Amino acid sequence: MKLIRISGFLKLFRKLIKIKPAKKSNHPPRPPSPPPPLSSSFESLPEDIVLTCLALISTSYYPKLSLVSTSFRRLVRSDKLYKVRRQLKTEEECFYLCLKSRTNPTDPCLIWYSLWIKPDNQTLNQCMTDEDKSTGNLLVPVQSSYRTNIPNVRSVRVGSEIYTIHCRNFPPSSAMWVKNELTGERREAPRMMMARREPALMCVLDGKIYVMGGCRADESTHWGEVFDVETQTWEPLPDPGPEVRFSSNKFLAGADGNIYVKNKKKIFVYLVDENKWDVKQSSSERLQHGERLVKGCVIKDVKYAYARKICWWKDKMSDEWRIVKDLNGLDAYFINDAEVGTYGGKLVIFWDSPASSRPYKTKKIWCAVILLDRSLHGEVEGQIEWVDTVATVPMSYSLVKCETFWV
């Protein structure tokens, strides 16, 4: 029925913009009136029709569409559009990298980039350093008019399902969504006990999803909670204390059977078996081998991280970190600090390096995409698909995080 309505409106729209020929007259012909602007004519359609049309367009066009008019900007940034995309099953996987400008330390500015990969990019068996070997892949700045539409999401993977919470500031949300990667179906999971916003933290450990923060720091009862995927129920966690709740926490991760919360000064650990909190050690102290790698990403129940010029992996059945085999080439690059993510089932690593010429006012953002394969012997083997510089940014920019989600 909706398709018939769309077809009817499009026919009407064509009639509206069709210019009729001028009648014969002894007077000089008047110049024909210009057709009505496309945007205003399109916006005259009912909102549900416009949303359906927009939902059928790739999200890569949304930043430009948001510049057409204020009405388009409102629709592109609305939750209604993404609900229609879920209904029509037109969601796409998007990958974003967030950088932070340190020009004003008291008020850091977040800058978002989307990863654009050149279509039909061929697999490369070696790292590329020469200009003529550029892949053409880029980090594209997200325009300011579209920036607020980037879902501030937290996602974890449990089996073939991806659990996602949207950390909206206004209003906070308690909703959690689940997407099945095998069937493409999306459903709403039981809601959290506490509505949360940025900067909520999320991780998974042993089939349970842990969510902390994103609420008032004086909220001690439900500051943290855990979701049991098997029973589909939420339970509150013990109060970690004001030192954790009132601090600026960096990240939350599960490792060695426990949950770690790290801020600028200390590392706090939630002892799952004992159901209590403890302070592990200060952040400045050298961490043990396994605990240095708590920040990473999960691909098919295997956790990956990058540290000391080595790519590591660990499955849920073992607490031992192992080296990804046959991954040669990345050690040629100076990688001090890296952000690791997943896109299309592949491992993505970002890092930065100063410009090659003085004065060092800019630096390059590098990206490596790695194909992964679990061998019959239980080892994980890697192959570099491509490595290249994808952006040049001011020296004041630093890596913050990378996010992958379906919209």
Give the start-to-end residue ranges of the domains of the chain: 2-88, 101-145+300-400, 160-295
Would the pLDDT of 91 be above 90? no
Say how many Å lie between the first and final Cα of the chain, rounded. 25
Q: How confident is the model at residue 298 (pLDDT cuts 50, 70, 90)?
A: confident
Question: What whole-number distance in Å separates Cα of residue 270 and Cα of residue 377?
Answer: 34
Lowest-pLDDT range, 147-161, 217-231, 266-280, 393-407?
147-161
Question: How does pLDDT run across 14-48, given as a tens digit for each residue?
Answer: 443 343 444 444 555 666 666 555 445 666 788 88
Helix axes 2-17, 47-55, angle to 10 degrees: 100
Give 291's pLDDT tier (boundaries 50, 70, 90): very low
Q: Which residue has the higher pLDDT, 253 or 16?
A: 253
Please report the pLDDT score of residue 20 as a whole number. 42
Task: Tell whether the model's pLDDT for residue 183 goes beyond 50.
Answer: yes
Exposed e or buried b per residue across 50-81, where buried means at least 16 C-beta atoms within 10 angstroms of its C-beta: bbbebbeeebeebbebbeeeeebbebbbeeeb
Instruction: Give the pLDDT confidence score for residue 16 in this predicted structure.
Output: 38
Higher pLDDT, 89 or 288: 89
Q: What is the mean pLDDT of residues 145-168?
A: 70
- Backbone angles phi and psi of 399, in degrees to 5: -70, 140
- Rounded mean pLDDT, 176-197: 85
- Tell me the average pLDDT across 226-241: 93
3-state secondary structure of 131: helix
**340 contacts 348 by C-beta, under 8 angstroms:** yes
Mean pLDDT of 212-233: 89
What are the E-state strand segments in 218-376? 224-228, 233-236, 251-255, 258-262, 266-271, 276-282, 297-299, 302-307, 310-315, 322-323, 339-343, 346-354, 362-374
Superfamily of segment(s) 160-295:
Kelch-type beta propeller (2.120.10.80)
CA distances from 206 to 146, 282, 287, 299 (A): 37, 26, 23, 15
239 vs 87, more confident: 239
Question: Between these two residues, 334 and 209, which has the higher pLDDT value?
Answer: 209
Which alpha helices (DSSP H) does 56-94 contain, by range? 62-65, 70-76, 79-88
Question: Quick one: 94 exposed, middle or buried, by C-beta within 10 A (0-12, 13-18, 19+)?
Answer: middle
pLDDT at 265 over 60: yes
Q: Which of 39-53, 198-212, 275-289, 319-333 shows the highest mean pLDDT?
A: 198-212
Chain centroid to CA 114: how far? 9
Question: In angstroms, rounded to a whole number, what is the distance separating the alpha carbons of residues 137 and 71?
Answer: 32
CA distance 186 to 54: 20
Q: Is the pLDDT of residue 120 over 70?
A: no
- Percentage of the residues of the chain whose pLDDT score is greater than 90: 14
Higher pLDDT, 160 or 145: 160
Q: How confident is the model at residue 250 (pLDDT cuts 50, 70, 90)?
A: low
| CA gyration radius, the chain | 25
pLDDT greater than 80 at residue 129: no
